């Protein structure tokens, strides 16, 4: 059995009195791409925010590499090797592309390693190198998504958490983004992916969890779920 | 000639306003709060100089000469900056940090409360009578070039404030902490996801702003050597006005707003017919500018995020 990188058990999250997550459990093994799919408001983003420390759970445990991170502040989780690319990219509009990438390396101390990672990111995203002196706010949506992903790579992550990376992008760019996600796995990274585009997400994932109004209602190998009649009907538009 | 003298005086006063305005604007940009106690930090800086200077004079009485006097003045200034820096950090930690995420009104009223607290403490310790705080050693007289007569203090103030603004701009642009400040001011959540400790950045911002306020108090004392517990109120409000004119949250905006306000103030005071209305003129300019450009000169319209 492969190494368990992330293990979430009985996670409950409240917004005031509203229960957003009703005790969900899932895990991500090293080297996998795992997708969380579900409709708007199912709790996908809440789940991601909770595991990376932006929201605190009311109940349940989050084990990352065996350590309980449920009460570790978000900024400390980054240096543990889990990095979150948030929904809507959220690049720093008033910083240049280069400065944004450096922000990604904020928790990194080793200068030589930062330089090497930067070179790799520029190799993978040549557009970012061309535009390194441009303010990030002037980039197109696709370029901003690439910047957000490149920025995450500079944190030297083991687990990359992606929230709706294909949102608002043209079909051509969407395919490109999914190719990039696949390349993360080839580079030895682990990916936890949240997507509206369930079909695409399932096509690159190893395993899938289906989230419905705060509960996980189905899970399994992507290759099996993609043929599940109920999933097909609800999420794949077939 | 008189025009040029007034202009230089205005630039110098503007430099002081800019230094204070930077504190308002940086704290607003990063902690998203109006720190109305900022003006009172100026006052604390003044009283610190007032306390430390005689102490140093006694300590160094055996070796007192003009050079020692200048050095001890500089030590007093540094002491004021360090003390205000620590005060800024403590105020943030005790009064503002527990309110993170609370309604902006709660934070605002707390800041006003801190302001009155500092004024009352100063009154208890130093009394309400004006104190003469003369940094004599730094009074180098008046520079005369042709018909131009400008105090050396004015020039020192101007040069120092320009150096401070350059240093701060370089710090924000090129240091890791400076870039983190820009990142936090833009998107606190995303900044956390980069591994930035937002609380630490807010603390550093308060420290820098308070040190600049202390420095500003020294330059005010060089102009007029009197200190009262409410000394910081008017310069505080003026500098806040400058920050809003420039576009609150914008560092270059605070610099431009400060200098603009200083120049306007000096010219208004130079014309006898309108000099009694100087403050009114300054605040009217704020009102008119906000009617025309609500975000200030360099401020960006805030995009409301859903």
Domains and CATH numbers, chain B: 2-292 (1.10.3470)
Give A-chain residues touching B175 at CB under 8 angstroms: none
Any chain A CB within 8 A of the CB of B99? no
The reported pLDDT for the residue numbered B231 is: 95
Question: Does the residue A177 lie in any domain?
Answer: no
Which of A114, A137, A156 is the last residue before a domain boundary? A156
- What is the CA B3 to chain-centroid distance, rounded? 26
- DSSP for B184-231, written as a single string: HHH-HHHHHHTT--HHHHHHHHHHHHHHHHHHHHHHHHHHS-EE-TTT
Question: Does the residue A178 lie in any domain?
Answer: no
B196 vs A75, A83, A91: nearest CB: A75
> Does A76 lie in the same domain as A194?
yes
- Closest residue in A to B177 (Cα) is A106
The torsion angle over the Cα atoms of residues B79, B84, B90 and B91, rounded to 10 degrees, is: 160
The reported pLDDT for the residue numbered A112 is: 95
> Does A149 lie in the same domain as A223?
no
The reported pLDDT for the residue numbered B306 is: 36
> Does A96 lie in the same domain as A64?
no
Which of A156, A179, A205 is the last residue before a domain boundary? A156
- CA B35/CA B243 separation, integer angstroms: 12
The reported pLDDT for the residue numbered B305 is: 39
Longest dimension (CA), chain A: 51
> What are the tens digits of pLDDT across the range B160-207?
999 999 999 999 999 999 999 999 999 999 999 999 999 999 999 999
Cβ burial B67-100 (10 Å sphere, 16+ → b, else e): ebbeebbeebbebbbebbbebbbebbeebbeebe
> Does A60 lie in the same domain as A4?
yes
Contact A53 B192 (CB under 8 A): yes
Inter-residue contact B149 to B126 (CB < 8 Å): no
> Does A97 lie in the same domain as A65?
no
> Does A134 lie in the same domain as A196?
no
A72: CATH = 3.40.50.300
Closest CA to B43 of B207, B220, B215, B231: B231
Question: Does the residue A181 lie in any domain?
Answer: no
Contact B190 A79 (CB under 8 A): no
> Does A194 lie in the same domain as A220?
yes
Give A-chain residues touching B194 at CB under 8 angstroms: 75, 78, 103-104, 106-107, 151, 155
> What are the tens digits of pLDDT across the range B241-268?
999 999 999 999 999 999 999 999 999 9
> Does A87 lie in the same domain as A74?
no
Contact A54 B194 (CB under 8 A): no
Q: For residue A230, with 0-12 CB atoms within 10 Å meaning exposed, 13-18 middle and 19 or more buried, which class applies? A: exposed
The reported pLDDT for the residue numbered B87 is: 98
A92 vs B176, B187, B197: nearest CB: B187
> Does A106 lie in the same domain as A67?
no
Inter-residue contact B161 to B18 (CB < 8 Å): yes
A102 vs B179, B191, B198: nearest CB: B179
Question: Does the residue A180 lie in any domain?
Answer: no
B195, B197, B250, B251: which to substitute to probe chain A, counting the most A Cβ within 10 Å? B195
Contact B182 A106 (CB under 8 A): no
Where do the DSSP E strands lie in chain B?
131-132, 142-145, 148-151, 226-227
> Does A72 lie in the same domain as A108?
no
- Domain membership of residue A45 as a residue range: 1-81+159-166+190-238
What's this model's pTM, rounded to 2 decimal places? Answer: 0.91
Q: What is the mean pLDDT of each run of 10 residues along chain A (238 residues)?
A: 89 93 96 93 94 94 95 94 95 95 95 95 95 94 95 96 94 93 94 93 95 93 87 77
- CA A101/CA A116 separation, integer angstroms: 12
Interface list for B 186-245 with A (CB within 8 A): 186-187, 189-198
- What is the CA A105 to chain-centroid distance, rounded? 17
> Does A28 lie in the same domain as A8?
yes
Contact B192 A74 (CB under 8 A): yes
Helix (H/G/I), strand (E/B), else coil: A36 = strand
> What are the tens digits of pLDDT across the range B15-41?
999 999 999 999 999 999 999 999 999
Neighbours of B300 (CB within 10 A): 13
Domains in chain A, number: 2
Which of A156, A176, A199 is the last residue before a domain boundary? A156
ipTM of model: 0.91
Inter-residue contact A82 to A158 (CB < 8 Å): yes
> Does A52 lie in the same domain as A40?
yes
């Amino acid at each position: 059995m492969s190494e368990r990188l992330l293990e979430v058990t009985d996670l409950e999250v409240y917004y005031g009195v509203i229960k957003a997550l009703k005790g969900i459990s899932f895990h991500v093994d090293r080297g996998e791409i795992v997708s969380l799919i579900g409709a708007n408001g199912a709790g996908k983003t809440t789940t991601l925010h909770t595991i990376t420390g932006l929201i605190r759970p009311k109940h349940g445990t989050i084990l990352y590499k065996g350590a309980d991170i449920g009460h570790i502040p978000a900024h400390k989780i980054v240096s543990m090797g889990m990095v979150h690319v948030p929904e809507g990219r959220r690049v720093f509009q008033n910083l240049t592309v280069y400065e944004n990438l450096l922000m990604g390396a904020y928790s990194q101390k080793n200068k030589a390693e930062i330089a090497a990672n930067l070179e790799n990111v520029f190799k993978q995203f040549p557009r970012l190198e061309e535009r390194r002196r441009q303010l990030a706010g002037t980039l197109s949506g696709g370029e901003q998504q690439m910047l957000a992903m490149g920025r995450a790579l500079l944190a030297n992550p083991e687990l990359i958490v992606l929230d709706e990376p294909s949102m608002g992008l043209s079909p051509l760019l969407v395919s490109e983004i999914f190719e990039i996600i696949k390349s993360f796995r080839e580079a030895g990274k682990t990916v936890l992916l949240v997507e509206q585009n369930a079909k695409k997400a399932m096509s690159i994932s190893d395993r899938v969890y289906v989230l419905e109004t705060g509960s996980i209602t189905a899970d399994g190998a992507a290759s099996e779920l993609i043929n599940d009649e109920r999933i097909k009907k609800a999420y794949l538009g077939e | 000639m008189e025009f040029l003298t007034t202009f230089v005086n205005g630039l110098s006063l503007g430099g002081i306003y800019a230094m204070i305005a930077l504190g308002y604007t940086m704290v607003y940009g990063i902690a998203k709060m109006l720190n109305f106690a900022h003006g009172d930090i100026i006052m604390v800086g003044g009283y610190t100089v007032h306390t430390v200077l005689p102490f140093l004079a006694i300590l160094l009485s055996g070796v007192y000469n003009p050079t020692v006097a200048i050095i001890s003045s500089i030590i007093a200034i540094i002491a004021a900056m360090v003390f205000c820096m620590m005060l800024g950090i403590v105020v943030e930690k005790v009064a503002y940090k527990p309110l993170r995420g609370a309604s902006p009104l709660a934070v605002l009223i707390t800041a006003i409360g801190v302001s009155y607290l500092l004024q009352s403490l100063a009154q208890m310790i130093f009394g309400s009578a004006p104190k003469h705080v003369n940094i004599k050693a730094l009074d180098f007289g008046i520079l005369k070039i042709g018909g131009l007569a400008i105090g050396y203090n004015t020039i020192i103030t101007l040069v120092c404030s320009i150096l401070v603004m350059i240093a701060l701009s370089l710090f924000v642009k090129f240091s890791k902490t400076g870039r983190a400040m820009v990142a936090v001011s833009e998107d606190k959540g995303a900044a956390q996801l980069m591994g930035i400790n937002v609380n630490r950045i807010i603390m550093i911002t308060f420290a820098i702003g308070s040190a600049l306020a202390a420095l500003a108090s020294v330059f005010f004392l060089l102009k007029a050597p009197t200190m009262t517990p409410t000394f910081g109120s008017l310069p505080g409000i003026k500098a806040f006005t400058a920050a809003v004119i420039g576009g609150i949250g914008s560092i270059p905006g605070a610099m431009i707003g400060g200098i603009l306000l200083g120049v306007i103030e000096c010219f208004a005071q130079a014309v006898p017919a309108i000099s009694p209305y100087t403050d009114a003129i300054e605040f009217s300019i704020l009102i008119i500018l906000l009617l025309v450009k609500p975000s200030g000169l360099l401020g960006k319209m805030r995009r409301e995020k859903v």
